[in-house]
Amino acid sequence: PGNYDYYQVDGDEIHEVAVGPVHAGVIEPGHFRFNCIGERVLHLEIQLGYQHRSVENLFHDVVAKRLPILAENIAGDTTIGHCLCMAQAIESLTQVQPDTGAQIIRTIALELERLANHIGDLGALSGDVAFLPPANYFGRIRGDFLNLMLLICGNRFGKGLVRPGGVRFDLPDDVRKTLDERLKELKPQVIHVLDLLFSASTVRARFEDCGAVSNYDAEQLGLVGPAGRASGMAYDARRCFPTEHYSLLEIPENKKPSGDVYARARVRYNEVLQSIHIIESLIALPVKTGCVDHTIKSLPPSAFVVTVNEAWRGEVSHAIITDKNGKIMRYKVKDPSFHNWNGLAMSLRDTGISDFPLNNKSFNLSYCGFDL
């Protein structure tokens, strides 16, 4: 059962390099098999599955009030994205409509999640090219934005906030005021560090023309999120399939043509500023909501629903099929990493193997989101 036939490249000068599944860091497990000629990568094969937990099957038998807890833990850094898809699916099946206040709070939470993770990625990219000032600044600023989520719901990753029917926490005036004050403090700091990173010629020299994925390849592979938009694909679920308060927001198109590390970093740059603007506009709205907790009704029989949201890595989708008794018969989860791992493999073709860490971080994909 442990045998796996890896793709092999024939040739006297071909050699293989194996990396993982255990890595030199507190990160998830995955195996990377490089076929190289000298330092040049001809083919990268990525083997995943080390974190398979049978998540989808767990949804079939769990009691209704534990559905959100399962959804929140599909991928810990995408708590809001996955839990929101689950909640919307249940709401659609039970004909429940969250009030306007709940929709606004959900939108704020999703943008805070996007903001914190994009800033963390930009800091990690800085560290990978040994440009340490932005890496250190971004690490601290990421924590500041996670603390804003903590202020809203008591958890830095948003666990316990989103539930079918709405949210479990309101945004009282004092919390909104604190959020507004902290955003006003953090925004100029973010802009300053972004300028520090992207104005450095040495950084651009490492980012540009590194790990490029063409628009054609991106479309064929179905890349989503920043990885897809960096290769010229305009798709953003917030614009194409707006949910919550996004239907009332103008989400600008954010795509780049080059498909390289620089493009993927620049897409994040733009989305960081967009998310700050969105959150600022929403916390200015004095909207209240009735807090809910586990308001899941019995599900209708022989029903089918699909939900889609734009999480920070890209499109997240959940689907539910119920049987004739209203019991969940099939629960399907699609994390954005499901599409994008092949994009990482493609980006390494004809690239120096020493550029793998930088390329890998520019995608920053989820192992557990793929393994499920």
pLDDT at position 2 is 66
- 214 contact partners, CB below 8 Å, separation of at least 6: 231, 259
- 153 contact partners, CB below 8 Å, separation of at least 6: 109, 159, 160, 161, 167, 168, 169
pLDDT at position 270 is 97
What does the domain layout of the chain look like in residue ranges? 48-371
The strand pair at 40-47 and 351-352 is best described as: antiparallel
| Sheet of strand 40-47: strand arrangement | 14-19, 31-37, 40-47, 351-352
Nearest to 255 by CA among 236, 237, 278, 274: 236
Which long-range CB contacts under 8 A does 137-140 form with residues at least 24 apart?
Answer: 137/189, 137/193, 137/196, 138/193
Predicted confidence pLDDT, tens digits, the chain (372 residues): 467 788 888 888 899 999 989 887 788 999 999 999 999 999 999 999 999 999 999 999 888 889 999 999 999 999 999 999 999 999 999 999 999 999 999 999 999 999 999 999 999 999 999 999 999 999 999 999 999 999 999 999 999 999 999 999 999 999 999 999 999 999 999 999 999 999 999 999 999 999 999 999 999 999 999 999 999 999 999 999 999 999 999 999 999 999 999 999 999 999 999 999 999 999 998 778 878 866 677 899 999 999 999 999 999 999 999 999 999 999 999 999 999 999 999 999 999 999 999 999 999 999 999 999
Mark 194-219 as b/e (b = at least 16 C-beta within 10 Å). bebbbebeebeebbeebbbbebebbe
Cα(156)–Cα(167) distance, integer angstroms: 16
Classify domain 48-371 at the CATH class level: mainly alpha
